[in-house]
Each structure stands twice: as C-alpha cells, then as structure tokens.
Amino acid sequence: MADSLDICARELLDVMPLVMQDLRRTMRSQSAPDLRVPELRSLAFLRHNPGSNLTDLAEYIGVSLPSMSKLVDTLTFRGFIERTPDAQDRRRVRLGLTESGLAILAKAREAVKASFVAKLAKLEPQDVERITTGMKLLHSLFALAPDTDVANG
C-alpha cells in the first residue's frame, strides 16, 4: 500500500504542473490575454470568498501585501473588483467582484474548460470516466478543511 501511495503522490506531483501550464496558456491566449494569471486567480478567490480582505488575498496568491495592494488597485481601476469599508473595523476594506469581474472570470473559465474538453476528447470514454472518478475523489480529499486529519476524519 505504501508503494502505491508513493506512486500516486508522484503522479499527482508530475501532472499538476502540466495541467497548470496548460491552464495558464489558455487563459492568456484565449480568454483574457490582457489579464495575468495572478489577477485571474485573485478574481477566482474573491468569487469563492466574497468580502475577503487584502491580507486574505495576498496569503492565498502568495505575494506580499504591497504587491497585492498594487494588483487590487489595478483590478479596481479596471472595474473588476470593488472595495467596501468593513462594518466592524473602518481601517479595513472588504473586496468583492463587480459584474465585469464575474463576466471576465466566467469567460476565462469557459475557455479553459473548452481546452480541457478538447484534450479529454482524445481519450476513450472509459478513460474519461476513470479520470472523472479520480478527480471527484481528489476534490473530496482536498476540499477538507486544512486542519482536518484525513486519517481520523
């Protein structure tokens, strides 16, 4: 069992960069060539976490607060993000997507999905089903809260 876990983990580590590279290429070329991947990732984060603050977003993207502040300024100027004062702490600002932000994100997602569909169409139907089953398992595994103990959960 340990060997199969090791092999599976290695395969996951090997395939993730390839998938992300394809995703980035598609997002740049087809959906929103004028948006960089960190900007699109920021929009996606805010779609799933409306009302987050700058610190939350910077931690997720993995950049410094000054870098994230500049990125948010750009996205706000372009009309993709709106800032709202925090009701409990006036020094803080909550971030959310505008309709334009939601639209550009939906366009990017559709372009990436179409690219994935084109690649998956080259496989046999039973292989697509196997991948789908595996992806659902991975989704349920990685969707667990970060502090959840998988062995005891």
| CATH code, domain with 27 | 1.10.10.10
Residue 151 covered by a domain: no
Distance linking the first and last C-alpha atoms of the chain: 20
Domains contained in the chain, number: 1
Domain housing 69? 2-142
Residue 122 covered by a domain: yes
Q: What is the pLDDT of residues 53-69, one digit of tens each?
A: 999 999 999 999 999 99
Q: What is the pLDDT of residues 68-101, one digit of tens each?
A: 999 999 999 999 999 999 888 888 899 999 999 9
Q: What is the mean pLDDT of the chain?
A: 88
Residue 94 covered by a domain: yes
* DSSP states of 23-64: HHHHIIIII-TTS-HHHHHHHHHHHHSTTB-HHHHHHHHT--
Whole-number Cα distances in Å, 1 to 4, 87, 138, 150: 5, 52, 18, 16
Residue 150 covered by a domain: no
Residue 131 covered by a domain: yes
Residue 135 covered by a domain: yes
User: In this predicted structure, what is the pLDDT of residue 33?
Assistant: 63
Residue 149 covered by a domain: no
Residue 147 covered by a domain: no
